[in-house]
Chain A
């Protein structure tokens, strides 16, 4: 379903993604793990047409996203690491906006919005503006939105960041269920190793822009003689702490936080 060969992304003085290759099968849950700044988000951006690769090949469901962007875009849904909802619009309007952009026919759109909002337990709050939603509700809404156009692949970039254990647990239950019932291919990144171990069929570990290991959770543990995936992860990537440089968008986000005051 996803085929990546020799993918490279370089910035002026930095190699963000350095010659990686991997395959994800149909209906597989594939976890992409790595420390901060390892190249996870850059890879997702290249897979989802937001960023042009410096070199290398990508295929999504047999299509090259760099050439057939719009065809490729119909095949996947994505939940970004950062929020991407319009806070002034209601949950329903956010869904509807997405459905219209993806040309989901009106009748199907209305049915599917209702079905997904009910599944993610947001139907009762559908007419409330998103700015009144908690972090967990926003996340659920984003996943529901990503699935609205029945994509074959869904990308989840750290979907559980900042959520409480209950919400995380529920979220993965939904994802597993969708994967089993609708045979959606799932490509996810997370920092919580126990989550990856629980849901992923296969895992790739990326560090400094290179894939350092690939396999089932069991294989990775055996390969490193570790008892848990977390130990395996540390064995493969070392225990040095990484500092990500703060981009201008993050700086601006801090300014915005200052102006908008504390969140309720």
Chain B
């Protein structure tokens, strides 16, 4: 337990101390929220879908949580590169606890980022349909955070350099985001898109968040919780396995 705690604390301290990282990581959601939100707003309204900011905000929140948690997981590459990983790997602590500590720490950082964006959304005019569902929304954020931190750690366990990281960003993370329904409704899509969006784990996170925040769910929120929990569990196991295989 104390090992998990100290690993969690370390990540939190690193997060709080790197002000540029906090600011930089809020730039992207802001751009999406204001650029897309206000840019496409009138067209979305004309198409009879209502207020685009209302629709987009849950997607942007999910995006923030996902990107922050993937980055937290992938921080492992930096730890490996700057040597700190060795310090944790020679310690008399089972690797599974190290993996859990890192995941909890990364997920916490992603949650903080996500909650900051929730506040920004409110400032931009977003309103929840039913405030009693706020705990549900937080549950979905936690699921997305855990899932993608584990995903990032699993990736970082097999990648050893920056080039690989770029590849992952462009061919894995960006598609997961763009094909998740964060930016557009999942109704009336061509069959190919239905299949792809249905296979994208983030779709269920976005959908669950949208369900709890504005009462609009495509898959149904119980299915969302189930899918997210199962995938998070699988990714945690795969991540732990790959992490336990790291040799330096």
Instruction: Tell me whether B6 and A73 are in contact (CB under 8 A).
Output: no
What distance in Å separates the Cβ of B75 from its nearest Cβ neighbour in chain A? Answer: 11
Bound state CA distance, A105 and B10, in angstroms?
A: 19
Instruction: Tell me whether A73 and B92 are in contact (CB under 8 A).
Output: yes
Instruction: Tell me whether A86 and B247 are in contact (CB under 8 A).
Output: no
Which of B79-87, B149-157, B173-181, B205-213 interfaces with chain A?
B79-87
Given A84-B83, A85-B84, A252-B81, also A73-B10 (CB < 8 A): no
- Chain B residues with CB under 8 A of A87: 82
Instruction: Tell me whether A50 and B6 are in contact (CB under 8 A).
Output: no
Instruction: Tell me whether A83 and B6 are in contact (CB under 8 A).
Output: no
Instruction: Tell me whether A89 and B13 are in contact (CB under 8 A).
Output: yes
Residue A80 at the chain B interface, CB threshold 8 Å: yes
Instruction: Tell me whether A102 and B247 are in contact (CB under 8 A).
Output: no
Instruction: Tell me the nearest residue of chain B to A252, going by C-beta.
Output: B161
Residue B160 at the chain A interface, CB threshold 8 Å: yes
Residue B93 at the chain A interface, CB threshold 8 Å: yes
Bound state CA distance, A82 and B81, in angstroms?
A: 10
- Chain A residues with CB under 8 A of B84: 84-86
Residue B94 at the chain A interface, CB threshold 8 Å: yes
Bound state CA distance, A248 and B77, in angstroms?
A: 12
- Chain B residues with CB under 8 A of A101: 3, 6, 88, 91-93
Residue B24 at the chain A interface, CB threshold 8 Å: no
Bound state CA distance, A103 and B1, in angstroms?
A: 10
Given A74-B92, A88-B18, also A249-B160 (CB < 8 A): yes
Instruction: Tell me whether A248 and B160 are in contact (CB under 8 A).
Output: yes
Instruction: Tell me the nearest residue of chain B to A129, going by C-beta.
Output: B17
Residue A191 at the chain B interface, CB threshold 8 Å: no
Residue A219 at the chain B interface, CB threshold 8 Å: no
The 8 Å CB contact of B92, one of A52, A71, A248, A253, is: A71
Residue A168 at the chain B interface, CB threshold 8 Å: no
Chain A: how many interface residues by the 8 Å CB criterion? Answer: 37
Instruction: Tell me whether A51 and B10 are in contact (CB under 8 A).
Output: no
Residues of B83-135 whose CB lies within 8 A of A: 83-84, 86-94
What distance in Å separates the Cβ of A139 from its nearest Cβ neighbour in chain B? Answer: 13
- Chain B residues with CB under 8 A of A51: 247-248
Instruction: Tell me whether B81 and A256 are in contact (CB under 8 A).
Output: yes
Mark each residue of chain A from 18 to 59: 1 if its CB lies under 8 Å from any CB of chain B, else 0: 000000000000000000000000000100111110000000
Q: Which A residues contact B (CB, under 8 angstroms)?
A: 45, 48-52, 69-71, 73-74, 78, 80, 82-89, 93, 96-98, 100-103, 129, 248-249, 251-253, 255-256
Additional A-B contact list (15), CB under 8 Å, known A51-B248, A87-B82: A49-B89, A70-B93, A73-B90, A73-B92, A80-B83, A84-B87, A86-B87, A88-B18, A89-B13, A101-B3, A249-B81, A252-B81, A253-B81, A255-B161, A255-B162
Q: What are 13 A-B contacts defined by CB distance under 8 Å? A: A50-B247, A52-B247, A71-B92, A73-B91, A84-B83, A84-B86, A93-B13, A100-B2, A101-B6, A101-B88, A101-B91, A102-B91, A249-B160
Instruction: List the 7 closest A-B pairs by CB distance, nearest first.
Output: A84-B83, A73-B92, A101-B91, A70-B92, A100-B6, A252-B161, A84-B87
